[in-house]
Amino acid sequence: MPADNLRSLVGTSQTKVGTFLFEFATPGIGQILKAAGADFAVLDMEHTGFGFDTVRQVVRYCQAAGLPLVVRVPSQQRHHISRALDTGADGVMVPIVSSVEQAKAVLDAAKYWPDGTRGVALGLAHERFAMRAEPLVPRFAEQNARTAIILQVEDPRGAAAADEIAAMPGVDMLWLGHNDLSVALGEPGAFDHSDFAKAEQATIAAAKKHGKSAGRLAVDAKQGAEFAAMGYDFVSIAGDVWLLQQAFAAGLATVKKG
């Protein structure tokens, strides 16, 4: 298992910082982020037009850079989860997981026997195309050990079930979907609302109680530092599009100001 595997970072005390990829699936993206000090990246399929051909490419770019890559799949459907993992991604982020039953279904799709029923096709991208003659069982165990499962808490049901979900073997991280959570609470964008704060604290507490990680996307580095202080150990500093816009807008203002 590569030393830079994402799952080895889960539950550790240090803050892991990365960003989302919504637009720039270019050959250099992994090395660009790695050179900047990123600990991980999340390639988003839920809110972009990225398909699995793009996912396959970006996984290779990040592997070449030694940068752990998570794929946020567009749904909880089995074929989205298993295909993302078959590309060689270090883990999957699954949206709107609101119950133990849904979490079990995700794990079943993501893990090989005996931990799940993921369809078997070895010697492909997730095994780095290795020509191996070993028995299946230890290879299943190797893949199960390297596969990080990140479940998004995005509604009141998910927050209420966070403790039970975090307690499940195989669940590695709870990721707060702040926008969807605020909408589901009936207070869109009200991140200082007491109901939002209660759900957020329940999510962080559940992750910490069970030795799992908690993650959230920040709009900028300042907010990211605030989230780390709150107990999130995985923080995404915005996303590729917004980072470029922020940097360019700040530079533009400086130059024009003289």
Query: Residues of 161-179 as b/e, b for ≥16 C-beta within 10 angstroms?
Result: bbeebbebebbbbbbbbbe
C-alpha to C-alpha distance for 98 and 158, rounded to whole angstroms: 4
In this structure, what token pair is assigned to residue 163? 């403790």
* Other CB atoms within 10 A of residue 24 CB: 15
pLDDT band for 3, please (50, 70, 90 cuts): very low
**pLDDT of 13:** 87
DSSP assignment of 19-67 equals EEESS---TTHHHHHHHTT-SEEEEE-SSS---HHHHHHHHHHHHHHT-
156 membership: H or E segment, kind and range: helix 156-160
Q: What tens digit of pLDDT does each residue of 17-33 get? A: 999 999 999 999 999 99
Q: What tens digit of pLDDT does each residue of 165-200 get? A: 999 999 999 999 999 999 999 999 999 999 999 999
In this structure, what token pair is assigned to residue 67? 């940068």
Cβ proximity of 220 and 20 under 8 Å: no
Q: Integer distance in angstroms from the first to the last C-alpha of the chain?
A: 51
Give, as one character, the DSSP assignment of residue 119: P
Give this prediction's pTM.
0.96
Cβ proximity of 178 and 217 under 8 Å: yes
Cβ proximity of 56 and 126 under 8 Å: no
Cβ proximity of 1 and 142 under 8 Å: yes
254 membership: H or E segment, kind and range: helix 240-257
Contacts of 116 (CB under 8 A, 6+ apart): 107, 108, 109, 110, 144, 170
C-alpha to C-alpha distance for 112 and 219, rounded to whole angstroms: 36
**pLDDT of 4:** 57
Mean pLDDT of 94-102: 99
Full set of structural domains in the chain with CATH: 6-150+214-238 (3.20.20.60)
Q: What tens digit of pLDDT does each residue of 32-90 get? A: 999 999 999 999 999 999 999 999 999 999 999 999 999 999 999 999 999 999 999 99
Q: Which residues participate in catalysis according to the annotation? A: 47
Q: What tens digit of pLDDT does each residue of 86-95 get? A: 999 999 999 9
